[in-house]
A = this chain, B = another copy of it.
Amino acid sequence: MRLAELSARSGLSTATIKYYLRAGLVPPGETEGATWARYDESHLRRLRLVRALTEVAGLALDEVRAVVAALDASVSEHEARGIAQWPLSTPVAENPSDDSREQVDALLARHDWHLEAQSPHRRTLAAALDTLEQLDFPATDEVLDAYLRAAESVAAVDVPRVVAEADPIVAAERLVVGTLLYEPVLTTLRRMAHEVVSGRG
């Protein structure tokens, strides 16, 4: 398809698409003569991914680039799904304390959770525990266990839905977008649950 059709089907202006092409967020089309290029469904899908990450998830273009680069660089299905999540991790300015790192490692070990050694989520979680400690809301192991089990039960319905996708890169894209898009559902239900559970008390 030509740029005009790509624009119509993605809902993005041709100017925006050209900008994403120049920024390397979308791979170039196949050149057809001097003035135009041909695009296919993979371009459309990538544009939808970029649009969801920017407009809905509110990521900056640098963060989108990191997600896209992780997808493009991954060599296996599982790697694509695992690594594609990493750039979503909240950046941590200061090094987390040893206590918090150990608490995170112990939590993961207790539940037999095998995370890649380089996974940035470990550091993000340890930093969050430091903040809670400083603000007089320390996280006990019992609370973390409950949170982990809740996260696992949610992932148990999230992951099989994307694994059904035949194309591993599509599966990874859907997992990343789904991770971000379903976050407000979980946080809103938690706020409802606080209202409901404290009413029962």
The residue in chain B whose Cβ has the minimal distance to the Cβ of A142 is B157
Cross-chain contact of A82 among B119, B135, B198 (Cβ < 8 A) = B198
Whether A197 is near chain B, meaning CB under 8 Å from some CB there, is yes
Known contacts A132-B182, A195-B119, A197-B156; is-contact A189 B85 (Cβ 8 Å): no
The residue in chain B whose Cβ has the minimal distance to the Cβ of A195 is B82
User: In whole angstroms, what is the CA distance A177 to B132 when docked?
Assistant: 10
Known contacts A125-B185, A135-B181, A182-B132; is-contact A152 B198 (Cβ 8 Å): no
CB-defined interface of A129-152 with B at 8 Å, one 1/0 digit per residue?
101100101010011101111111
The residue in chain B whose Cβ has the minimal distance to the Cβ of A139 is B185
Cross-chain contact of A90 among B150, B156, B160, B188 (Cβ < 8 A) = B188
A177 and B135 within 8 A (CB): yes
| Residues in B whose Cβ lies below 8 Å from that of A201 | 78, 159-160, 163
| Residues in B whose Cβ lies below 8 Å from that of A52 | 135
Known contacts A146-B156, A157-B142, A186-B150; is-contact A121 B198 (Cβ 8 Å): no
User: In whole angstroms, what is the CA distance A128 to B191 when docked?
Assistant: 14
Whether A1 is near chain B, meaning CB under 8 Å from some CB there, is no
User: In whole angstroms, what is the CA distance A32 to B160 when docked?
Assistant: 66
User: In whole angstroms, what is the CA distance A184 to B119 when docked?
Assistant: 16
A190 and B186 within 8 A (CB): yes
Whether A199 is near chain B, meaning CB under 8 Å from some CB there, is yes
A-B contacts, 28 of them at CB < 8 A, read A56-B135, A78-B201, A82-B194, A82-B198, A88-B191, A114-B199, A119-B195, A121-B191, A122-B192, A125-B185, A125-B189, A132-B181, A137-B178, A143-B158, A146-B153, A146-B156, A146-B157, A147-B154, A150-B154, A151-B186, A152-B197, A155-B194, A158-B194, A159-B197, A159-B198, A179-B190, A186-B190, A187-B187
